[in-house]
Amino acid sequence: MTRAALAAAAVFLASRMAEACPACATREAAGLGTYALVGAMIAVPYIVSVVAIRVIRGLDGDPRV
């Protein structure tokens, strides 16, 4: 396959995955709740990572906690 065909397939598949998002698939117009839900889905992994790093450093006795 050429790079253009691979890129086109990736764009098509990415748009299909976005439609699988419950906030996107069930709504016709995005409201404030949709933006809050999408923002939370983006922010939560970072928050969990920060907490995990602090716990691991705390267990290790690292003074940078």
Q: Going residue by residue through the chain (65 aa), what tens digit of pLDDT does each one get?
A: 588 787 777 766 666 555 556 666 666 776 787 778 888 888 999 999 999 998 988 887 766 65
Are 19 and 47 in a shared domain?
A: no
Are 17 and 1 in a shared domain?
A: yes
Sign of dihedral through CA atoms 24, 25, 28, 31?
Answer: negative
Query: What phi and psi, each to the nearest 5 degrees, are found at residue 63?
Result: -75, -5
pTM for the whole structure: 0.51
Judge residue 45's burial from the number of C-beta atoms within 10 Å of its C-beta, 0-12 exposed, 13-18 middle, 19 or more buried.
Answer: exposed
pLDDT at residue 51, rounded to an integer: 94
Cα separation, 64 vs 57, in Å, equals 8
Both tokens assigned to 63:
């003074």
Are 65 and 38 in a shared domain?
A: yes
Answer whether 65's CB lies under 8 Å from 57's CB: yes
Range of the domain at 65: 31-65
Are 21 and 6 in a shared domain?
A: yes
Our count of domains for the chain comes to 2
pLDDT at residue 26, rounded to an integer: 66
